[in-house]
């Protein structure tokens, strides 16, 4: 068996949570491989909305298994709140959730470091989610981090104090006010809570599952344009959000990767700072934000909105080895006379089809205009009923990327999902 990977091809919030939940019926295991509480994955069914941060989006199917891989950074406080919410819905997830002992812990002082560092950058800030992601991954690669498996060791508290004190020395350089005690109390209580979950050697478990013939879907977080290596550095997150991250974040060999399902929103959004060539700073952008309810699932921040960017998509399709596409939020584009799609960039008078190295370069998108459609498509269930111009818009994307769009999503609900092929 192979591991299929589902990931966002833009700047995050493409609708991964909804689609993973909708596709879970075809899999036995859903596994997260990177990121942490910076992610906000929204699922909707039975008129109920759920937002997951750390827990894989297969969790609402009680007969399926879920794995938090070694590539994640976990904040026990956020994790406890997520579990408490699910418990409130009568769910007991301890039986079907496994946590890799090698995943890393986010400490309260990681969150403080994130906030202090962002505050010190002023206008040049990354616009991080302030969840401590950057500092936690910095400690991981700096070989200072604490891992979930460390909780089981007698030396855990001593290790915690040691790392905390190192952080406090760093924070003191920022002149950033804080009160650690309540944060630490809450964190230590949440560590006790975390103990009641199943800690595993995730890399062995997932390979055993593969051997046993389990169908596994790896769920990406963020989007490929936020990848630490290939995104618009430094305005990126701190993990490999691209397909390769599924190998290192779970412990599966590259040859074990099967289908790579790339999710794209029918237009573009970005939250936080950084280049966004097709951004619309006018009423069209505002219209997309309003009709698409484009406000962060984790932070509530308004998302920046713009047209679809094929330069970015060609790049991420190449990096990820995408084998099929899912287009979400097609319903949000209803009512536009004309839809614009960027197919190249003009930089200093020169046309390029590649993402430039220099993220500060003044980029002017080269657009192709396509006709829009008027119909409200949110109630449509089969592909035959979709407006011709939407089919044309989808064909344009398919032809440009050379990959089929197999699913089109026309609403937030799990069932508003149209099979195209």
Give me the active site residues, please.
13, 41
Candidate residues 226, 250, 333, 407; the one interacting with ligand IMO per rule CB under 6 A:
226
CB of 294 to ligand GDP, least distance (A): 8
Q: Check residue 145 for interaction with Mg ion (CB under 5 A).
A: no
CB atoms within 10 A of CB 275: 18
Q: Check residue 221 for interaction with ligand IMO (CB under 6 A).
A: yes
Contacts of 43 (CB under 8 A, 6+ apart): 17, 18, 21, 49, 50, 51, 52, 57, 60, 414
Q: Check residue 272 for interaction with ligand IMO (CB under 6 A).
A: yes
CA separation for the pair 103, 105 (Å, rounded): 7
Q: Check residue 258 for interaction with ligand IMO (CB under 6 A).
A: no
Write the interaction track for ligand IMO spanning residues 130-169; mark x where CB under 6 A is met and - where it is not: -x-xx-----------------------------------
Q: Check residue 16 for interaction with ligand GDP (CB under 6 A).
A: yes
Q: Check residue 272 for interaction with ligand GDP (CB under 6 A).
A: no
Q: Check residue 409 for interaction with ligand GDP (CB under 6 A).
A: yes
Name the β-bridge partners of 200. 100
Helix (H) or strand (E) holding 264: strand 257-265
CA separation for the pair 289, 293 (Å, rounded): 6
**How many contiguous H segments (helices) and E segments (strands) does the chain have?**
11, 20
Sole residue written with tokens 């974040």: 249
Candidate residues 4, 13, 21, 309; the one interacting with Mg ion per rule CB under 5 A:
13
Region of 171-179, 189-197, 220-228, 278-286 interacting with ligand IMO (CB under 6 A): 220-228
DSSP state, residue 70: T
Please choose which of ligand IMO, ligand GDP, Mg ion, none residue 237 contacts, taking the beta carbon within 5 to 8 angstroms, the exact cut-off set by kind. ligand IMO
The residue count for binding ligand IMO (CB under 6 A) is 25
CA separation for the pair 272, 167 (Å, rounded): 25
Q: Check residue 297 for interaction with Mg ion (CB under 5 A).
A: yes
CB of 228 to ligand IMO, least distance (A): 10
CA separation for the pair 348, 170 (Å, rounded): 41
């Amino acid at each position: 068996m192979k591991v299929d990977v589902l990931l966002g091809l833009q700047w995050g919030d493409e609708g991964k949570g909804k689609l993973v939940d909708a596709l879970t019926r075809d899999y036995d295991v859903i596994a997260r491989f990177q990121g942490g509480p910076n992610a906000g994955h929204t699922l909707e069914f039975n008129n109920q909305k759920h937002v997951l941060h750390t827990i894989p989006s297969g969790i609402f199917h009680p007969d399926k298994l879920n794995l938090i891989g070694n590539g994640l950074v976990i904040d026990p406080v956020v994790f406890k709140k997520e579990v408490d919410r699910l418990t409130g819905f009568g769910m007991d997830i301890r039986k079907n959730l496994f946590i890799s002992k090698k995943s890393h812990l986010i400490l309260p002082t990681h969150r403080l470091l994130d906030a202090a560092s962002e505050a010190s950058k002023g206008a040049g800030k990354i616009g991080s989610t302030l969840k401590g992601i950057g500092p936690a991954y910095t400690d991981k690669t700096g070989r200072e981090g604490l891992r979930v498996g460390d909780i089981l060791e007698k030396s855990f508290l001593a290790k915690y104090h040691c790392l905390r004190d190192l952080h406090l020395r760093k924070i003191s350089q920022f002149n950033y006010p804080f009160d650690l005690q309540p944060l630490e109390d809450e964190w230590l209580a949440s560590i006790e809570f975390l103990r009641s979950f199943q800690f595993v050697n995730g890399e062995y478990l997932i390979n055993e599952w593969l051997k046993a013939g389990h169908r596994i879907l790896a769920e990406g977080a963020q989007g490929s344009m936020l990848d630490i290596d290939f995104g618009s550095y430094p305005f990126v997150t701190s993990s490999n959000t691209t397909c390769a991250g599924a190998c290192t974040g779970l412990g599966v060999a590259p040859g074990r990767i099967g289908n790579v399902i790339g999710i794209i929103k029918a237009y573009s959004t970005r939250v936080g700072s950084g280049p966004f060539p097709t951004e619309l700073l006018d009423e069209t952008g505002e219209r997309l934000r309003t009709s698409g309810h484009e406000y962060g699932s984790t932070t509530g921040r308004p998302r920046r909105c713009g047209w679809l960017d094929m330069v970015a998509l060609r790049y991420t399709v190449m990096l990820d080895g995408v084998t099929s596409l899912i287009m979400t939020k097609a319903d949000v584009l209803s009512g536009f006379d004309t839809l614009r799609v960027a197919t190249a960039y003009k930089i200093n008078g020169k046309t390029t089809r590649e993402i430039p190295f220099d993220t500060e370069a003044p980029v002017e998108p080269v657009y192709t205009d396509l006709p829009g459609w008027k119909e409200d498509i949110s109630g449509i269930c089969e592909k035959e009923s979709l407006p011709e111009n939407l089919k044309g818009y989808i064909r344009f994307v398919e032809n440009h990327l050379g990959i089929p769009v197999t699913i089109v999503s026309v609403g937030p609900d799990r069932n508003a999902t149209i099979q195209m092929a």
